[in-house]
Amino acid sequence: MTKITKRPFGKLSDGREVSLYELKNSSGASVEVIDFGGAIRAINVPDRDGKLGDVALGYDSPEGYEKQGKYIGALIGRHGNRIENALFKLGRKNYFLEKNDGRNNLHGGFKGFDKRMWNAEIDGEALVLKYFSPDGEGGFPANLWVTVRYTFDENNALMIDYSAESDGDTVCNLTNHCYFNLDGEGSGSIEGHSLRLNATHFTVGNSECLPTGYVAKVEGTPLDFTDFEVIGDRINSKHEQIVFAGGYDHNFCPDGEGFRHMATLKAEKSGRFMEVYSDLPGIQFYSGNFLDGTDPYGKGGRPINKRDGLCLETQFYPNSLRFANFTKPILRKGERYHHVTVYRFGVEK
């Protein structure tokens, strides 16, 4: 049985109090979530020797989450990832968004869901976070009511259940931007981790990491993770896709449909592995290329340096509103957005 407890975490610069919620199962493994940004602050799971360790990057106070620009741990919305020219058309109307990534919109704009206070409540073994996004926030149309349920079970599986409803047609593409390091946060680069992606195709990106509408085979490229590959082996490849992104920052197209196994990440040093399951169309593998060691510093005051963590973000394809061959994250009035992602942790003996 999972027990959820609440405790103070500190205050934001405007004086608002932030709370931390710990979801702990009977083995002692746990997940910590704060109500500012709905951010996952810590994930404590055992290594091959049974020793608990924190495998998620994060901060020791609300100040870090308020100041950061790397989206560490946070819930992302209304639209995860990039929208070209910060512009999309819905029906006969154009909607102009904030340009917070060059000429593009990234993760909802300058103040997306990652910078909002969520209403949190404990519902048995689930932590339920709710946020109301008013019509016009960030340039997005219609009022949107979002609910995210976090659960953490006896099998060390973290489930994130996303749902949303709107009073008008809008776009909705929710994800979580947790950075993982299975050797433990603060242990250095993730380049020694091995990754397998159950994806034979990816969306080709340009120099802005924007999908161009083309879906290509991973075969014969440094993006082929159909078998376990050490991340660092090809991360400095001269392949155009790797050069464009400065490493990995690509949307993959997991094989199959519906709720399915998308990825497995493992760390030889600790023996930990993590499996990713979701019913969303895509998954973004981001190797932490823009982590730069600058303030705000991470847990224990340590700098968060380049590639100290990686993200596996389930999502609709980035820039999908532009291309007929991509499934679009359009939420119609009266419909319900509902998707589930699971991160399950284990050990190889």
Beta-carbon contacts of residue 315 (< 8 Å; ≥ 6 apart)? 80, 81, 173, 175, 251, 280, 281, 282, 283, 284
Active site residue 313: yes
Q: Which one of the listed residues 79, 107, 177, 250 is annotated catalytic? A: 177
Distance CA(133)–CA(114), nearest Å, equals: 12
Distance CA(39)–CA(36), nearest Å, equals: 7
Distance CA(172)–CA(246), nearest Å, equals: 28
Q: Which of 322, 325, 324, 291 is nearest to 309 (CA)?
A: 291
Q: Which of 58, 67, 71, 66 is nearest to 300 (CA)?
A: 58
Beta-carbon contacts of residue 259 (< 8 Å; ≥ 6 apart)? 277, 278, 279, 340
- CA angle 83/85/293 to nearest 5° reads 65
Distance CA(139)–CA(281), nearest Å, equals: 25
Distance CA(279)–CA(86), nearest Å, equals: 26
- Taking CA atoms, 326 is separated from 25, 109, 212, 296, in Å, by 39, 22, 11, 37
Distance CA(299)–CA(291), nearest Å, equals: 15
Active site residue 177: yes
Token pair for 237: 């490849």
263 burial level (CB within 10 Å; 0-12, 13-18, 19+): buried
Distance CA(270)–CA(294), nearest Å, equals: 27
Q: Which of 55, 288, 91 is nearest to 170 (CA)?
A: 91
Q: Which of 340, 332, 330 is nearest to 173 (CA)?
A: 330
H helices present in the chain, as ranges = 62-67, 240-245
Q: Which residues are catalytic?
A: 177, 313
